[in-house]
Structure 1
């Protein structure tokens, strides 16, 4: 691809905003001149121009385009919270039925009878009922995917599944990592199926000592635990979660032979993510229940900020609620486009197929970036399933302080996080470039790939001659340089899903800033043209836009109301599980209150411009000059018990 196309695609959101600004300026200024708003009609007309006809026309076709585009954006913005409402309602309903399922308690007792001596506890909710299937959100799957009940009789083959859990981290507090490992270690299946990989950075001071201390503490609680160090001197690789995931993926790939790779599932989590044991129980069951799509499925789960939400300012709390709700919007049952947020799982064979994680600056939004990469590698036929087990996250905090200073620090820390989120607009360009490749290769449905560590260790081996791919499988050699080649036939391009993915990317990276801009400019247009003629017949459009803004605001209110039930079920379930595991002491649990909710509702109008439009504009402007962002670690809440443990160790 040409450097020009690469730059244009990378800056697509920013260029789109510039074009919109130019369109709005021309249309409004011409209409203002036509209406004599500046005291002299058509003052913008050049000498010798017929001002009479120009005044009548105003902005002409540009005004019409501006009006209809404004209507389109308002329709998209008002439909987004409606979809989020349905998704959170659907997920909450599944969580409620899961909590009441008798089979969950039976499963828990069965695991205890098996004598998993290294397990500290098991989850209260390990699986779903028949009505809320473990394949709840699927795409391209058979009808039976939607209803599948986990049963003890159906555990054949489950013991063969290995969960390779990568925890990328850079300068994270030891307490944060220890708490996350404690939560994973309390799962009844941890000793038998969890391979933990601490994805660390070599540039961090004393990182090896930090890793070895954690490994020594938890070595007997998992199937295995190891650490990887991402080198700091690899050209083209930017520091961050993506590069740590990529390096850990390369290293763990070496440990699993070809014969078992289809049953190795990689899960990437944040350093502060708390996963219930039912996350992996459901994941395992879905993987074994649908072998036909097992190697082409990506699993996503809803996230919830239920640890220290009561300790951060209301505006930060609401920003995280709306961010989590945005991630929820694609996880309803039947959704074919379900990008993950922070935590996701995918089989190692799918990682092999796409060549692992990218490490450049464009991949700072590692979760969405990997989703897009898998999506286009399968011609849009990526299967997506939702795991109905919310992932607990903590809200970011600033550097402390008191009173107004503390609020300012927390808000600043949240803005930096929002900037990282909006920096992910680079994935729009990545998707555009992938679409171009897809179009060129749309007729090629035979693909071959090799294990990740083979192609990365020897880049020249990544090329597999087409003649070798086309060879009769019975004639292909069982040993030699192609013995580890996997040849697969994928379906034709799914253009409908490709269009829907484009819509979701536009929704995520264009709408926040453009909507804020259009609210201002459409209001200005109405003020300028109020009481005057409407030669373009667009006045009704702006009236509808006013109605859509009101409807959208009401939908956000409904979304927050629905979120209350989702938060209550998720937070209470996690607290009960941590109490059973003996980890609740000193751990934060945020339960929402009526007073706090009222303050939250008031803050809603401020969140969109402060944590949506402002960081969006910041990121899109900077993309014209650079795509490098200095990656910083957000401060997170940790369990007080862990801190006390460290203090005791240091005092010895």
Structure 2
């Protein structure tokens, strides 16, 4: 379908149109200004450079109106470039302040201590349950779709209120090293809530060799440390499903949905984490608290947390380290208090009932950016009235690494691995096309006031009538029949929030248009100034390009100051994690990366290289390829594995 292709290719088409516009304006204005390249004579043309001169034209015939479009769009891009770091800086400052407050929270410490002292029995789960079961009780319940602001405080609850929340933790993984998975499970198993409320699901791929043996070995090792632990195997032969994190999440979501009946379903919260993500016990304590403290929006809320690269940052080249810092800062730019648009990065949580109403995770090639894609799906399903809350507990991540080597080869391999990861990130520009299509759908259905949904695993059995808008719009008070409609839940939804929809469009533009458009405008505006310098300015746009030069400088200074603010955030996050791991007895052999101005001064020198190398170039590559295909061969990034300190190794060997 032409519309689908145009929507999918929107970022690439914008790139092509912008280049054509710039070429047309520059060539026309150069000719109109009398710009030409002249050589003194043919004899010394090889030894002497060309001389730029201006010849006065008889009549001025420039690009006219298109010059104004070019100039004012250039100004718009530069304003966005200089304003984006400001929002990121404020968000980092605000999050750091909240992290300090959380670290000093006496009620949070007392709560965790009280849970450590309690004993509980662990329900053992069979791996057969989620790989082959077909039928289970179905019901769901009516939910609210009200929006709200982010929260920062831990609100103590009674133990009964806390324990009714079940955390379904999905860990998508494919060919991950056993040590990586063990370390991640060791970390979450050390949490006070683990034995009472954590249901862990290893979302694996059936195409991985000996995967069942691997899964059963892990389950046998950790079965007594969680409320339950199980694994799912995503089949490799489902038409239209692309391998990757999204498809693994989707399959695990379908299977775990079968386990939870009506009595507990409204208090089941799904958290998706990477195989190497280390979450503090504060994450789930704060998540539980916010879910209980806001029952009116509990089932329509998506929770996001900042990420921090504090594991092996000292082992990767500075440019890779800074690329990850700026990537994390971009993800944090929407997590400040009061933000209504807060797409997650890598790790996020959402209630099972919200997963039900949106039909679970998508599995096609377009959903490769699984975190942003699921956010968009929830956003449009609720007409923009999605509640977002920030969990002020940084998620520890490891920097991507290459295939090793020594010296320059090692640096190259690490940089190459980071570029491949950047290409995957920029491949997420496909979400722009998805958002465009959902916006058109939102406009068409803007007058609908009720919708219906089934629990995820039952909706998949009845795909043709699982989302029955028209039936319930006709008569929302009509009682449901027994049988096929007995498990259907109806919801009343608010009218579309157009202000939030506009803000979402702005954030998508920042993520998938701005990096490449900035590079194009910097290069072409510089060319424009060179070819028109000294010539007439009939459009009165010279002042625009002068301002753009200032804004570029301001943007660079803001990025440097952003790195400075990040130092405080990193220190709080890394120190808190190391302290918690020491208390849990897991610190020995675990990687910790602390920053200091003395050891990381080079970061402030290389950061200008990050934007073109890991932003503009992979963005251009992805957008050009989107003209022809959705598919990207998904490869798993190499991650840091548990390492033992030399003294510890010596101790073991002796």
**TM-score relative to the length of structure 2:** 0.90
Q: What SS does the aligned partner of 1:598 have?
A: coil
The separation in 2 between residues aligned to 1:198 and 1:645, in whole angstroms, is: 30
**What is the aligned partner in structure 2 of residue 548 from structure 1?**
551
Deviations 1:314-365 (A, max 9, x none): 0000000000000000000000000000000000000000000000000000
Pair 1:231 & 2:235 matched: yes
Instruction: Name the stretch that deviates more: 202-211 or 96-105.
Output: 96-105
CA offset at residue 52 of structure 1?
9.2
Separation in structure 1 between the aligned mates of residue 480 and residue 647 of structure 2, nearest angstrom: 61
How many corresponding residue pairs? 612
Shift of residue 623, structure 1, vs aligned partner: 0.4
1:365 and 2:372 aligned: no
Choose which of 480, 504, 516 in structure 1 pairs with 2:483: 480
Kindly provide the CA deviation profile for residues 3-61 of structure 1, in whole angstroms up to 9, marking residues without a partner as x.
Answer: 10000000000000000000000000111111222259xxxxxxxxxx99895131111
CA distance in 2, matches of 1:90, 1:502: 24
Alignment CA distance shift 1:448-1:441 (3 Å): same
Which of 616, 629, 633 aligns to 2:632? It is 629
Residue pair 1:211, 1:227 contacting (<8 A) in 2 also: yes
Secondary structure of the corresponding residue to residue 57 of structure 1: coil
Helix, strand or coil at the partner of 1:442:
coil
1:174 Cα deviation from its structure 2 partner: 1.1
| TM-aligned CA distance change 1:373 to 1:645, over 3 Å | farther
Determine the structure 2 residue equivalent to 1:7. Answer: 5
1:462 aligns with 2:466: yes
2: CA distance, partners of 1:472 / 1:439: 21
1:308 is aligned to: 312
Q: Distance in 2 between matches of 1:110 and 1:580?
A: 15
Aligned CA distance change for structure 1 residues 641 and 225 (closer, same or farther; 3 Å): farther
1:345 is aligned to: 349
| Residue matched to 1:105 | 109
Question: Quick one: distance in 2 between partners of 1:56 and 1:106?
Answer: 77
CA distance in 1, matches of 2:618, 2:342: 24
Deviant stretches of 4+, over 6 Å: 51-54, 642-646
Displacement of 1:611 in angstroms is 0.2
Q: Which residue does the alignment assign to 1:441?
A: 445
What is the deviation of 1:171? 1.1
Residues in 2 aligned to 1:559 and 1:169: alpha-carbon distance in whole angstroms: 33
After superposition, residues 182-581 of structure 1 pair within 5 angstroms as 182-462=186-466, 464=468, 466-467=470-471, 471=475, 475-477=479-481, 479-581=482-584
Shift of 1:476: 3.2
Match of 2:155 in 1: 150
Give the distance between the partners of 2:67 and 2:159, measured in 1 at CA: 63
Q: Is residue 116–residue 188 contact of structure 1 (8 Å, CA) maintained in 2? A: no
Distance in 2 (CA, whole Å) between partners of 1:289 and 1:390 is: 21
Once residues 465 and 330 of structure 1 are traced to their aligned partners in structure 2, the CA distance between those partners, rounded to angstroms, is 32
- How far apart, in 2, do the equivalents of 1:580 and 1:509 lie? 42
Q: What is the CA–CA distance in structure 1 between the aligned matches of 2:646 and 2:342, rounded to whole Å? A: 37
CA distance in 2 between partners of 1:203 and 1:277 (Å): 33
TM-score in terms of structure 1 length: 0.91
Q: CA deviation at 1:170?
A: 0.9
Corresponding residue for residue 64 of structure 2: 60
Instruction: Check 1:341–1:149 CA distance in 2 against 1; reply closer, same or farther (3 A cut).
Output: closer
The SS at the match of 1:487 is strand
Gaps of 5+ in 1: 41-50, 119-138
- Residue 104 of structure 1 and its aligned partner are, at CA, apart by 2.9
Conserved in 1, the CA contact under 8 Å of 2:450 and 2:469? no
Cα deviation digits, residues 523-548 of structure 1 (max 9, x gap): 11111111221111000000000111
